[in-house]
Amino acid sequence: MRWLKKREIVIYYLLYRKFRNDKFNIGLALDTLSPYFSKKVIKNTLKYMVKLGLIVKVNELEYRLISFDEYLSIVSYEYLKRRLTLHHKTQ
């Protein structure tokens, strides 16, 4: 798993600033982000963030952001678990 790119972090930040923990749909996300990014970039980035778990699909039309702190906890846990097993293999 790769770390987020600047563009993805900025998109997350703009959405978080607007919606926080509220539900939103793709139309609202497009309205919020369209002054800065193309429709294709927005849709692809949102799809990728859903895959990563940064955005949770509430139902077919609505999404919700998880907190960045929660996301970092998940990513860090997986990374540290992998490092621990690699470290034990070398000893």
pTM of the model: 0.81
CATH number of the CATH domain containing 52: 1.10.10.10
Q: State residue 26 phi and psi, 5-degree precision.
A: -65, -35
pLDDT-based confidence at residue 90 (cuts at 50, 70, 90)? low
As a whole number, the mean pLDDT across the chain is: 91
Total of domains in the chain: 1
75 part of a folded domain: no
29 part of a folded domain: yes
Q: Residue 19 pLDDT more than 80?
A: yes
71 part of a folded domain: no
Domain with 25, as residue range(s), is 6-66
Dist. CA 15–CA 22, nearest whole Å = 10
Dist. CA 75–CA 91, nearest whole Å = 25
81 part of a folded domain: no
